[in-house]
Amino acid sequence: MTDKYAVFGNPIEQSKSPEIHHAFAQQTQQSISYEKVLGQVGNFSASLDAFFADDNAKGCNVTVPFKQDAAKWVTQLSPLAKAAGAANTIIRLENGDFRGDTTDGQGLIVDLLDQDYKFSNSKILLIGAGGASRGVVLPLLQQGVAAVDIVNRTATKAHEIEHMFEDAKVTGFGFDELNEQRQEYDLIVNCTSASLSGDLPQLSENVLCKAKFVYDMVYQATQTVFIEKAQALGVAKTSDGLGMLVGQAAYSFYLWRNVMPKLAPVLTMLRAKL
């Protein structure tokens, strides 16, 4: 019987996950099915119960607004998912347990590795202090980076993340404080959704122009305003977040199938359709 997978969300129509996972399956010669399922808001555990009642259902992805519910439904959580209080991937284990994991942050790592980024001892700035930013801190620390600075419009939220990690490598800032320091970063990641509305975070040009690599988690058919700005300031290397989307899916696929697909062919396919 074919192993069965799905992505749950609400709404779900826009999800590219089935297309991505079918491409991974073809590339790695795995036989799987992968569908989109509209989850029940307020009774999400019923959606998961129904899906996993079929023994062929081996795992699923979970997206907005169900990631916290998924973390509560599973019987065990990875350390990352536990720290985030959210799961975007569920894996049915041989012993009947269901393991919740989160691959969102790992998606950034997978994409950056694919782009030959050298994490070791590098200095990173994250802009934004929401779930997207919080989710990448631990995966970055695990890669051996020297520092993760977090700057946010609401400075208290950046300080909260600093206190949550209790690691000398993690420091929170408001924009004024950070802009004054004029530090140099190997990588600056825009973890806000500001680009979606054409807005730029209040990071000074003096800081942005010195970055070696600028990454925007947002992706669009055209270049994001943040990437445009970085390029105009002469930043040599830039990337939007399409690779992170493919990277988080690839890591889920790896958790289920124990084989890591290549990102490049899938990225090319998706980029052509944006």
Positions marked active-site: 67
Minimum distance of ligand ATR from residue 192's CB (angstroms): 3
Q: What strands lie across the sheet with 89-92, from one edge to the other?
A: 32-38, 3-9, 57-62, 89-92, 98-101, 76-77
> Who's near 217: CB < 8 A, 6+ residues apart?
108, 132, 189, 190, 191, 193, 241, 244
* DSSP three-state, residue 153: coil
Q: What does the binding site for ligand ATR look like in residue numbers (CB under 6 A)? A: 128-133, 152-154, 157, 192-194, 199, 201
Minimum distance of ligand ATR from residue 135's CB (angstroms): 8
In eight-state DSSP terms, residue 210 is T
Angle between helix 104-114 and 242-257 (nearest 10): 110
Beta bridge partners of 149: 125, 171
Minimum distance of ligand ATR from residue 102's CB (angstroms): 12
Minimum distance of ligand ATR from residue 210's CB (angstroms): 20
Amino acid at 138: L
Nearer of residues 195 and 238 to ligand ATR, judged by Cβ: 195
Q: By C-alpha distance, which of 231, 209, 234 is closest to 222?
A: 231
Residue with smallest beta-carbon separation from ligand ATR = 130
Minimum distance of ligand ATR from residue 131's CB (angstroms): 3
Minimum distance of ligand ATR from residue 42's CB (angstroms): 21
Nearer of residues 25 and 227 to ligand ATR, judged by Cβ: 227
Q: What angle do CA 238, 145, 83 make, to 5 degrees?
A: 100
- How far is the first Cα of the chain from the last one, in angstroms, to the nearest whole number? 34
Q: What angle do CA 162, 102, 57 make, to 5 degrees?
A: 165
- Residue in the block written with tokens 């919740």: 100
Six token digits for residue 153: 């419009």
Alpha carbon distance 88, 141 (integer Å): 20
Nearer of residues 54 and 205 to ligand ATR, judged by Cβ: 205
Nearer of residues 157 and 169 to ligand ATR, judged by Cβ: 157
